[in-house]
Amino acid sequence: MTTATYDTALIQEWHAAPFVARKIACFTPYIGGRYSDLRLEQKGPNDPRRWNYLHFRAENNIGVFAGTDVNLGRYVKLNVEGRFIDETALSIGAAVRF
């Protein structure tokens, strides 16, 4: 008789981010605050060669972000954004409207 064991994982991530923005010519700068919550739980079989239990929660849940959108004509928009305290990240994006 063979007994099957299954690994399980639970990942929960929540974000809320109010911000203020102001359009100035082709720029739209913005700044805001963010609440984020990340939880990870993993459980595995009782096998010493594999992980048994892992529990993780984010250390910092509150952060700030700032960025700007740049309209380059009617169809192209660029975005640059930095996020700090709860994470350290920089993102750069572009959008083209058809």
- Residue among 30, 32, 36, 85 at smallest CA distance from 58: 36
Rounded Cα–Cα distance for residues 48 and 41 (Å) = 18
Walk along the chain (98 residues) and give the pLDDT tens digit of each residue: 455 455 677 788 888 999 999 999 999 999 999 998 877 777 666 655 555 556 667 777 899 999 999 999 889 999 999 999 888 999 999 999 99
pLDDT for position 64: 95
In terms of Cα–Cα distance, which of 16, 33, 28 is closest to 85?
33
Indicate the pTM of the whole model.
0.70
**Pair 37, 43: CB distance under 8 Å:** no
